[in-house]
Each structure stands twice: as C-alpha cells, then as structure tokens.
Structure 1
Amino acid sequence: MRLPNETRPTEPGDELDYRFSLANERTFLAWIRTALALVGGGLAVDQLLPELGRPTALRVSIATVLLVLGAATAVHAAFRWVRVEKQMRSGHELPSSSYPRVLAVVVALGAALLLVVVLLGIDR
C-alpha cells in the first residue's frame, strides 16, 4: 500500500507528478538567469570598461567570449529542459550533462586570466 505523499519512479503512461515538472522548469529558469548574466557581463565589458590593451582586442575578446557563453547556455537550457521532461514522462533515467563542469572551468579560467591582466596592469 502506497502512502498519499509517497513518490515512486514513473512508468510509461503514468501521469507525471507536477512537482517534478515544476522543478525542471525552475532549473531551466536558473540556466536562463545564468545566460542573461553572461550576456549582461559581455555587454558591460564591451560598453563600460575602459580600453583594455592596444588595440581593443582584449576587451572585444572578453566580451565575445561572454556573449558566446551566454548564447550557448541559453540554448543548452532549452534543449536540456525538453530532454529532461521527455525522460521523466517516459519513466527513464534523467540524462547527465557535462555542460555545468565545462562552463565552470571556462569561467574560472577567464577569471584567472582577468586577474593576471589586472595585477600586471596589461591594460596600461
């Protein structure tokens, strides 16, 4: 006998507990916020930072990387949301993703590079 609030894996054809779908949506929205932060950072670097280096290659490079990461994160979020939703509704295991690790490494490397730029005063 199942208790009313007991959760169990879904079987194909079962109605999905709405809480799982809403959790998937919240994760999607968190990825979208991350994408927006990266895009906003890219725009801020391009528009608000003083000239970095001569010519402006460093500033433009940083902005471009942030904008590309933001776009890639938004696309990843959409595809991941759909994949997870399908997997949950079909009763299968959720797909794994290496994207969070890759994004974390790229952001950490970018931060380390910027730290070197700031400490060495390369922009002056």
Structure 2
Amino acid sequence: MAQAEQSTTKRNRISDRILRGGTEPDPRFTLANERTFLAWIRTSLALLAGGVAVEAFMADLFSPELRKTVAVLLLLLALVIGGGSFFRWLNVERSMRHKTPLPLPWIAPILATGAALVAVFMVAFVLARPA
C-alpha cells in the first residue's frame, strides 16, 4: 500500500471514530465551524489574560478578597470556555455530517452568566468605593 493511501486510511479511521461516520459536509461549513471554534479559544485566552492581569496588577485598587474572586471567576470562565469549545466544535461537526439539527450553544449562556457575575462584583466595588 502506498504511503498516501495509508495516511488516508488512517485519517478515515480516526475521523470515523471521533466523528462517528456520516458524510463529509461542504468544506465551507467545516471551515466556518473551525473559525467559530477559534473565536471561542480567543475568548478563552482573553479571559485567561484578564484573570492573570487582575491578580497581578490590581493589588492597589482591589481588596485581596475581591481581587481573588474576580481573578478566579475569569480563570474558571476561561477554563470552561476553552474546554467547552472543543466539544461544541465536535458536536456541530457531527451534526453536519449526519444532517441533524445543530446543538444548542451551551457555552454561550455560561459565558454570559460568568461575565454578568464579574460585572456584578465590579459594580458593587465601584458603588462601595469612596469617591
């Protein structure tokens, strides 16, 4: 068997195992799904950088408890969004291959809720801080 044929066969076995068969979707849809995955990863990295920045540079502005709470919330959001983005990509890819409805984006409400929690802490901090 030629080298190219072995690579294709190996790719098909891995693809079938991960994606559970189906037919190859239009490449434009697969690439759009990949771009969405990368956007979620960018968001995760931004949240990670924000959590590190809060912990590293806000010691003079925030109390230690508030600083730690905000930093941990941002870091946990980064963890959930980064990890969840792979499963989102995988589930959308499987749906496209099997021509089934796309799954609901469960990481979007998690991100919105987490961002709202961080905003609540920040608003409380601003209101409680002397002018």
In 2: Cα distance, 1:14 partner to 1:77 partner:
23
1:103 to 99, 111, 118: 111
TM-score scaled by length of structure 2: 0.75
Question: Of the two structures, which has the highest relative contact order with CA contacts closer than 8 Å and spacing of 6 or more?
Answer: 1
Going from structure 1 to structure 2, the CA distance change for 1:91 and 1:50 (only over 3 Å counts) comes to same
2:123 to 99, 115, 123: 115
Deviation of 1:13 (Å): 5.0
What residue in structure 2 maps to residue 49 of structure 1? 58
Q: Which AA in structure 1 matches 2:67?
A: R
What residue in structure 2 maps to residue 19 of structure 1? 28
Tell me whether 1:81 sits opposite 2:89 in the alignment. yes
Count of aligned positions = 110
What residue in structure 1 maps to residue 37 of structure 2? 28
Deviation of 1:32 (Å): 0.3
Q: Which AA in structure 1 matches 2:45?
A: L
4+ aligned runs moved over 3 Å, structure 1: 12-15
What residue in structure 2 maps to residue 5 of structure 1? none
Hey, which of these two has a bigger chunk of helix by percent? 2
Tell me whether 1:60 sits opposite 2:60 in the alignment. no
TM-score scaled by length of structure 1: 0.79
* Gapped regions of structure 2 (runs ≥ 5): 1-20
RMSD (Å), alpha carbons? 1.9
In 1: Cα distance, 2:23 partner to 2:110 partner:
35
Question: Identity of paired residues, percent?
Answer: 43
In 1: Cα distance, 2:24 partner to 2:73 partner:
42
* Gapped regions of structure 1 (runs ≥ 5): 1-11
Deviation of 1:57 (Å): 1.8
Deviation of 1:60 (Å): 1.1
